[in-house]
């Protein structure tokens, strides 16, 4: 089964979501990545925008990135689950000149850990490095925090086009690795199940995001 | 079921983050409101189809309106006394037009750092032709069309005092006329909305504008969410929840000459209608059929709306439900204000207050294709319907491309104005401008603005003419059927029949017989071409 699915099958499909407070530059990152543009005027995003991009993987396979760019305003917070529920990766964006936006990232991390467990790859993104002189969150602080929660840490400037394409490459790579692990894992658990039918955890593993928390727990006990 | 878990755990997660609040207000309030918002969405989904509150709302509006004119009388003298203060403080909203337009990032801009800044001595601010102020009943500033609302606390204090003074007498303040300025007041759901103007707009027209703004706020927050917030905390700062939406409010209010805009948009608002995108009847019905056939199997889809260039191409609705023109205007406003819809597929919650003021619809918003700038909204009560609707939209675009409908839309879009209408208007050079509204629909036909109304001062006069005509025709105490007026610079006519309302502006040299002849010709032409410029019935899924 695993060989059939990991093999040179159709295009891989990855879903990712950008989360973070308003005005930190989520839309700017996407705009820079998708169209290599930057808009100096800030217009709050009051919706979630869905964009797709085809990318070539290092092993010459093709993958499609489906990216949700969400609204950062407080009142949209409750809609978060719609977008992260089915996602393989999340970019948690903050503004390096704004301490509060970094705290908001922490709250998203907590929520995602609780709802999705290890199902979702996390990258914390410190944006606006072009405003270095106004920096309020040090690189080390952010990096250390990212390491404690098992996330990657990247700094970017959508305005100066620094680190943006690298960011999305890293994201793709993480989701790809995770995808690979998951397939292996699925395969092993299937073997496990067929070996001793009494355990019967396969349903849990195959359920999607909605039961992710539970699934992740189950998995850790059977993944020996 | 799994959806049920999400909100609780989501808010649990949140309540552990005590820093979230930048303003130093208790943080759980934020969390609660977010939670409420979510539950409301859920609640709405179950209730939305159950009952419509449109009629209820209409009743409420009705009572308000009937209260209006007489309401002031018992306290008139007292109110006028106080009004002098207000008038003094806003003393000279001078007639001079101001070119200062409020920019998007007004609040954050470094424009006015001085806390002591006093708008009452700022000639630009005082020179604005129209002001709109929104505050909470507790007196907290929410919005000001011009200037930073934080710097207007003194004025807001006066407004709050006036409102509560009249309220003490079990009455409601409606309007003040002082110093050549009209002040219209409106109180809704813990909000106080005030309009002040020196233009020709009547109090009723100002109030219609205030109610449009009020609905814009509801469209962002929903009625029940806002009520709950104010129940919990009277002095809640609503700006926190409206952040990002200010541009929607601004665009809604700034569509007239007081903001130096010369466009027909203001007339849709004044006539409480929308405009229809002209298309041959067969094209429009092909479009409607395509939407129907690709959406009929989608459960929970309530409305499909196709819009181009601020005009309605097609509307398909769920049986038994319809969209009020005020709701449609909110949709048009949203599309007009959001450039970013053009570059991606979007999923946005939107409350249509006349449809249901307590719940959100979730709208899939996207332009048909890069080569056809018509915007399609598919509105569902299901918040997880994005991908279903996205697929439906793909199919619709494909079909419309095959049936040449995209081309037909583009052909019309590429013209600066509708050719046939233009020819018709050219054929009668003495007819400068008109508004035609069938009484059966809330749709408006008007020709493009041309000389002399392309210049701002002339357009202001046109706007004033229509304001005055509409006001007299729709005056609740003495409605008129026919107005014919020879003014200094134009001849104007307003005519209401059983089937339509017509307002027309002619060159000042024409005589009555000629006007009648031309109007007759125009009406005959419109009746012949009716299905190009109007939609008789909105189809259902």
Question: Within 10 A of B362 (CB to CB), how many other CB atoms are there?
Answer: 25
CA distance B18 to B285: 56
Helix (H) or strand (E) holding B434: strand B431-438
Domain co-membership, B92 together with B128: yes
Nearest CA in chain A to B3: A210
Domain co-membership, B427 together with B408: no
Residue B31 belongs to some domain of the structure: yes
Residue A11 belongs to some domain of the structure: yes
CA distance B248 to B480: 35
- In chain B, residues 327-346 whose CB comes closer than 8 Å to chain A: 338-341, 343-346
Helix (H) or strand (E) holding B375: strand B372-380
**Residue B48 pLDDT greater than 70, yes or no:** no
Domain finish residue from B235, B261, B287: B261
Residue B267 belongs to some domain of the structure: no
**CB < 8 Å to B339, chain A:** 43
Domain co-membership, B166 together with B208: yes
- Contact criterion met (CB < 8 Å) for B243 and A22: yes
- Contact criterion met (CB < 8 Å) for A49 and B343: yes
Contact yes or no for B45/B383 (Cβ under 8 A): yes
Instruction: Give the pair of three-digit tokens for residue A218.
Output: 């189950």
Confidence of residue A189 (pLDDT cuts 50, 70, 90): low
CA distance B22 to A224: 45
Digit-coded pLDDT (tens) for B356-367: 999 999 999 999
CA distance B140 to B436: 42
Contact yes or no for B327/B444 (Cβ under 8 A): no
Residue B256 belongs to some domain of the structure: yes
Q: Which domain holds residue B7?
A: 2-48
For residue B349, the domain's CATH number is 3.30.450.30
CA dihedral B316→B317→B319→B320, nearest 10 degrees, is: -130
Query: What's the whole-number average pLDDT of chain B?
Result: 81
Of B6, B17, B220, the CB nearest to A81: B6
Domain co-membership, B397 together with B482: no
* Number of folded domains that form chain B: 4
Residue A195 belongs to some domain of the structure: no
For residue A48, the domain's CATH number is 3.40.50.300
Domain co-membership, B88 together with B235: yes
Domain finish residue from B231, B261, B291: B261
User: pTM for this one?
Assistant: 0.79
CA A195 to chain B, closest CA, distance in angstroms equals: 31
Nearest CA in chain B to A23: B244
Domain co-membership, B76 together with B169: yes
Digit-coded pLDDT (tens) for B255-282: 888 888 888 989 999 999 999 999 999 9
**CB < 8 Å to A107, chain B:** 13-14, 16-17, 20
The reported pLDDT for the residue numbered A193 is: 52
Residue B27 belongs to some domain of the structure: yes
Mutation to test the B interface, candidates A32, A36, A47, A107, most B Cβ within 10 Å: A47
Domain co-membership, B76 together with B162: yes
ipTM of model over 0.90: no
- In chain B, residues 186-245 whose CB comes closer than 8 Å to chain A: 220-221, 240-241, 243-245
* Number of folded domains that form chain A: 1
Q: Are strands B539-540 and B311-317 parallel, antiparallel or unpaired?
A: parallel
Strand order in the sheet with B181-188: B141-144, B130-136, B191-197, B181-188, B175-178
Contact yes or no for B435/B502 (Cβ under 8 A): yes
**Residue B190 pLDDT greater than 50, yes or no:** yes
Which residues does B395 contact at the CB level (< 8 Å), separation at least 6?
B294
Q: What is the mean pLDDT of residues B439-463?
A: 93
Residue B108 belongs to some domain of the structure: no
**Residue B298 pLDDT greater than 60, yes or no:** yes
Q: Which residues of A189-223 are buried (b: 16+ CB within 10 A; e: fewer)?
A: beebbeeeeeeebbebbeeebbbbbebbebbeebe
Domain co-membership, B84 together with B229: yes
Of A44, A80, A103, the CB nearest to B10: A80
Residue A207 belongs to some domain of the structure: no
Nearest CA in chain A to B384: A82
Domain finish residue from B400, B415, B430: B415
- Name which of B185, B180, B332 is nearest B255 in CA terms: B332
Domain co-membership, B390 together with B345: yes
- Contact criterion met (CB < 8 Å) for A73 and B244: yes
Tell me, yes or no, if B388 comes closer than 8 A to chain A by beta carbon.
no
Q: Quick check: helix, strand or coil at residue B142?
A: strand
For residue B75, the domain's CATH number is 3.30.450.70
**Residue A220 pLDDT greater than 50, yes or no:** no
Digit-coded pLDDT (tens) for A84-113: 998 999 999 999 999 999 999 999 999 999
Tell me, yes or no, if A69 comes closer than 8 A to chain B by beta carbon.
yes
**Residue B354 pLDDT greater than 60, yes or no:** yes
CA B246 to chain A, closest CA, distance in angstroms equals: 10
**Residue B287 pLDDT greater than 90, yes or no:** yes
The reported pLDDT for the residue numbered B179 is: 86
Domain co-membership, B256 together with B141: yes
Instruction: Give the pair of three-digit tokens for residue B155.
Output: 């004025």
The reported pLDDT for the residue numbered B116 is: 55
- Name which of A107, A222, A26 is nearest B16 in CA terms: A107
Residue B538 belongs to some domain of the structure: no
**Residue B2 pLDDT greater than 50, yes or no:** no
Residue B269 belongs to some domain of the structure: no
Domain co-membership, B61 together with B16: no
- Contact criterion met (CB < 8 Å) for B13 and A51: no
CA A112 to chain B, closest CA, distance in angstroms equals: 9
Q: Which residues of B499-525 are buried (b: 16+ CB within 10 A; e: fewer)?
A: ebbbbbbbbeebeeeebeebbeebbee
- Contact criterion met (CB < 8 Å) for A44 and B243: yes
Tell me, yes or no, if A103 comes closer than 8 A to chain B by beta carbon.
yes
Distances (CA, A) of A197 to A157, A217, B270, B473: 52, 19, 72, 82
Q: Which domain holds residue A130?
A: 2-176
CA distance B237 to B409: 44
């Amino acid at each position: 089964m695993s060989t059939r699915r990991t093999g040179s099958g159709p295009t891989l499909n990855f879903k990712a979501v950008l989360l973070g407070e308003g005005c930190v530059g989520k839309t700017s990152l996407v705009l820079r990545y998708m169209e290599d543009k930057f808009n100096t005027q800030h217009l709050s995003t009051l919706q979630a925008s869905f964009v797709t991009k085809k990318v070539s993987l290092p092993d010459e396979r093709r993958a499609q990135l489906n990216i949700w760019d969400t609204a950062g305003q407080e009142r949209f917070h409750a809609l978060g689950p719609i977008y992260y529920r089915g996602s393989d990766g999340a970019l948690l964006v903050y503004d390096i000149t704004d301490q509060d936006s970094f705290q908001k990232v922490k709250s998203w991390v907590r929520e995602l850990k609780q709802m999705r467990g290890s199902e979702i790859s996390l990258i914390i993104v410190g944006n606006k490095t072009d405003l270095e002189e106004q920096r309020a969150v040090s690189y080390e602080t952010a990096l250390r925090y990212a390491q404690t929660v098992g996330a990657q840490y990247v700094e970017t400037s959508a305005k100066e086009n620094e680190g943006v394409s690298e960011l999305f490459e890293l994201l793709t790579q993480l989701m790809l690795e995770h995808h690979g692990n998951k397939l292996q894992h699925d395969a092993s658990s299937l073997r496990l199940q067929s070996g001793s039918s009494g355990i019967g955890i396969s349903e849990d593993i195959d359920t999607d995001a909605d039961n992710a928390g539970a699934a992740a727990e189950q998995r850790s006990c059977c993944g020996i | 079921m799994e959806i049920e878990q999400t909100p609780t755990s989501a808010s649990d997660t949140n309540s552990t983050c005590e820093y979230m609040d930048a303003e130093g207000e208790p943080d759980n309030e934020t969390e609660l409101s977010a939670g409420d918002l979510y539950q409301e969405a859920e609640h709405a989904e179950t209730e939305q189809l159950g009952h419509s509150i449109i009629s209820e709302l209409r009743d409420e509006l009705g009572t308000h309106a009937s209260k209006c004119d007489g309401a002031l009388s018992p306290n008139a003298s007292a109110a006028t006394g106080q009004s002098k203060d207000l008038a003094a403080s806003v003393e000279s909203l001078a007639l001079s037009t101001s070119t200062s337009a409020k920019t998007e990032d007004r609040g954050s801009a470094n424009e006015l750092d001085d806390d002591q800044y006093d708008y009452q001595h700022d000639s630009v601010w005082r020179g604005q032709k129209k002001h709109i102020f929104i505050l909470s009943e507790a007196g907290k500033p929410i919005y000001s069309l011009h200037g930073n609302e934080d710097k207007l606390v003194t004025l807001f204090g006066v407004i709050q005092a006036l409102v509560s003074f009249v309220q003490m007498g079990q009455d409601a303040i409606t309007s003040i006329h002082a110093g050549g300025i009209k002040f219209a007041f409106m109180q809704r759901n813990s909000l106080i909305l005030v309009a002040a103007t020196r233009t020709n707009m009547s109090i009723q027209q100002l109030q219609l504008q205030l109610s449009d703004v009020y609905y814009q706020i509801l469209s962002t927050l929903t009625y029940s969410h806002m009520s709950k917030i104010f129940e919990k905390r009277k002095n809640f700062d609503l700006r926190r929840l409206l952040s990002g939406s200010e541009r929607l409010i601004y665009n809604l209010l700034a569509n007239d000459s007081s903001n130096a805009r010369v466009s027909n948009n203001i007339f849709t608002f004044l006539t409480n209608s929308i405009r229809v995108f002209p298309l041959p009847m067969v094209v429009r019905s092909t479009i409607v059929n395509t939407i129907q056939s690709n959406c009929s199997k989608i459960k929970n889809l309530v409305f499909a709306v196709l819009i181009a260039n601020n005009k309605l191409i097609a509307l398909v609705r769920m049986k038994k439900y319809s969209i009020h023109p005020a709701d449609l205007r909110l949709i048009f406003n949203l599309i007009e204000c959001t450039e970013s819809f053009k570059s991606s597929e979007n999923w946005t919650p939107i409350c249509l207050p006349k449809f249901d003021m307590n719940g959100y619809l979730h709208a899939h918003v996207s332009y048909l294709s890069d080569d056809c700038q018509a915007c399609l909204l598919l509105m569902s009560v299901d918040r997880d319907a994005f991908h279903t609707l996205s697929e439906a939209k793909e199919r619709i675009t494909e079909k419309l491309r095959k049936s040449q409908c995209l081309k037909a839309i583009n052909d019309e879009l590429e013209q600066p104005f509708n050719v046939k209408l233009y020819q018709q208007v050219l054929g009668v050079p003495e007819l400068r401008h008109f508004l035609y509204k069938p009484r059966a629909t809330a749709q408006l036909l008007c020709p493009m603005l041309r000389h002399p109304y392309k210049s701002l001062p002339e357009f202001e006069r046109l706007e004033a003419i229509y304001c005055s005509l509409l006001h007299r025709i729709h005056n609740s105490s003495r409605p008129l059927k026919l107005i014919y007026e020879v003014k200094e610079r134009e001849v104007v006519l307003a005519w209401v029949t059983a089937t339509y309302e017509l307002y027309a502006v002619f060159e000042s040299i024409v005589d009555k017989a000629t006007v009648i002849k031309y109007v007759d010709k125009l009406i005959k032409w419109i009746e012949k071409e009716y299905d190009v410029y109007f939609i008789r019935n909105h189809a259902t899924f």
